[in-house]
Amino acid sequence: MFNKMLMDFFSKTKKYQSSLDSIYNKYTRSYGTINTYGSCGDYSIGCFSTGPSENRKKALDELKKIN
């Protein structure tokens, strides 16, 4: 479901499509989930925080550079 929502978002952002695809591919694991939880081996509550992870910060910074 999330993957479909993400791909729907990408399809609506034609102007930035290749940049978004590149960032998506860079931060996506082989089984289709976004790799934003750093070194956590599972998705336990301890892996979540109130702020973005380092990987997510990098992806957001890349998006800001494009704009």
Measure the CA–CA gap between 6 and 32, rounded to whole angstroms.
11
Q: What is the pLDDT of residue 42?
A: 55
Measure the CA–CA gap between 63 and 31, rounded to whole angstroms.
23
Q: What is the pLDDT of residue 18?
A: 77
Is the pTM for the entire model greater than 0.75?
no
Q: What is the pLDDT of residue 29?
A: 59
Residues 6+ apart with CB under 8 A from 17: 10
